[in-house]
Amino acid sequence: MAVRVAVIGCGKIAERASLPNLINYKDKAEVKVLCDIDAAKARALKDKFQLSGAEIETNWKKVVKRKDIDVVFVDTPNYLHEEMAVAACKHKKHVLVEKPIAIFAKAADKMAKAAAKNGVYLMVEQTQRFDPVHQAAKKILDSGVLGKIHNIRGRIGHAGPEYWSEGKAHWFYDKSKSGGGAMVDIGVHITDLVRWFAGKKIVEVFATIRTIEKDVKVDDNATVLFKFEDGTKGEIECSWTTRPYEVTTAVYGSKGKMTTSIGTEKPVRVVIAKTGKGDDPNCILEEIYPELGSTASGWENAVHCFIDCVITKNKPLVSGEEGRATMAVINAAYESSAKGKWVKVK
C-alpha cells in the first residue's frame, strides 16, 4: 500500500517541491489531505495537480490526528514547524519538515525527542544534500582523495524571497515568523551542506550579518567563519542580493582541492596536485570531473528519499538531530554578529 500523505501548508514549496514529487512517485505515495488556513490555496493545488481524491482541510490539528494518514509534510512558515511537527509525531505520523527545522535549536531538540519517543521518522528537507552535484562531491570527500581537509567554503545566493513567494510584507521578512533573513532562510542550506561535507562538529563561529540592499527589517547578507572541532576552518556566505542564483563550495585538502557549482556544465571539479618529494605542488597530477548519474533535483531526491525511508524503515539522511546541529550554528551566528566576537555553538 502507498504511504498516505497529508501536506500542511499549500504555498510555494508545496507547489514546487512536495506535490510534484509526490505525484511522480504515486506508486509509493498517495496525497490524502491538502491543508491550509486558506482553503482556496489548498483547492488551487488540488486542481493544479488533479488530485481528485485529496480532501481539503483548514485545521491542521485535525489532520495530524487522522488515522488514515501515515506521513505529514510540514510546509508552513518557519515559526509553525515546531508545534506542527511535535503534534504529528505524538500522533505517530512520520514528518518531513521544511528547512529550517525550527527557529531555535531548543525547539529542534523538542522535535527530535518527540520523533524518537514516538518511534517515527522526522526528516528535515535540507535540499542541498540531495542535489546530485553535492551527492557526487560528498562521495569524493569520503573517498579521501583530497587528503586531510584543512578548509571548507560555501556560498549560496539568490535575489530574495520576493522573487519566490509573495511581496514584501510576507512572513519571510517578519523575524518573529521566520527567525531572521538570509542567514536563516538560505544560511541554513549552506551551513548544513558544509557541516555534512566536513562530517565534523562546528564548535565556534564569528559572523557579520547585515542588511545592505533591501528595505526590510531582517538581514539580506551574512558571512560566517567556522571553527570545527579538529581545527578545520570553514567559511560561508549567504546572500539575498545575488543574481542569478548560485550555490558554490570549495574544499581544500593536503593533496588537492574540489570545487562545486550547481547549474554549470561541469559542476564538480577535483584537482589533485603533485605532492611527491621534490614535486612542484602547482603541477596537476590528476583532474577529475565525476559523473552525476542523475538529473533529478534535490527536492525530488529529498521527497523520494523520505518516502523510501518510511517504507523500508531506514533512518533518513537529515534527522532532527542534524537539523538541530545546523540551527545551533545559525543561532550562534546571530549572537556573534550582535556581540562582534567569536561565540561557542551550544
Ligand X SMILES: NC(=O)c1ccc[n+]([C@@H]2O[C@H](COP(=O)([O-])OP(=O)(O)OC[C@H]3O[C@@H](n4cnc5c(N)ncnc54)[C@H](O)[C@@H]3O)[C@@H](O)[C@H]2O)c1
Chain contacts with ligand X (rule: CB under 6 A): 8-13, 35-38, 41, 60, 75-78, 80, 98-99, 125, 127, 165
Q: Which is nearer to ligand X, 41 or 227 (CB)?
A: 41
> What is the closest distance, in whole angstroms, from the C-beta atom of residue 130 to ligand X in the complex?
9
Reading the block at residue 265, the C-alpha cell is 556544465
CA 171 to chain centre: 19
Residue 77 or 160 having the CB closest to ligand X: 77
Asked if 171 and 321 touch (Cβ cutoff 8 Å), the reply is: no
CB of residue 18 to ligand X, shortest distance in Å? 9
Read off the DSSP letter of residue 263: T
Nearest distance from C-beta of residue 137 to ligand X, angstroms = 18
Q: Choose among 97, 105, 280, 298: nearest CA to 190.
A: 298
CB of 227 to ligand X, least distance (A): 27
Nearer to ligand X (CB atom), residue 112 or residue 273: 112
Q: Which helix (H) or strand (E) holds 191?
A: helix 187-198
Give the nearest distance from C-beta 38 to ligand X in angstroms: 5
Query: Can you tell me the distance from the alpha carbon of 289 to that of 270, in angstroms, rounded to the nearest whole number?
Result: 6
Give the residue closest to ligand X by C-beta.
Answer: 11
Q: How far is the CB of 12 from ligand X (least distance, A)?
A: 4
Asked whether 14 and 42 are in contact (CB, 8 A), the reply is no
Q: Rounded to 5 degrees, what are φ and ψ at 296? A: -65, 155
What is the C-alpha separation between 304 and 317, in angstroms, rounded?
Answer: 12
CB of 87 to ligand X, least distance (A): 12
Nearer to ligand X, 13 or 152 (CB): 13
Strand partners, 297: none
CB closer to ligand X, 9 vs 180: 9
DSSP letter at 269 equals E
Of the pair 13, 328, the CB lying nearest ligand X is at: 13
With respect to ligand X, which residue has the nearer C-beta, 9 or 253?
A: 9
* DSSP-assigned letters across all residues of 128-163: GGGSHHHHHHHHHHHHTTT-SEEEEEEEEE-S-GGG
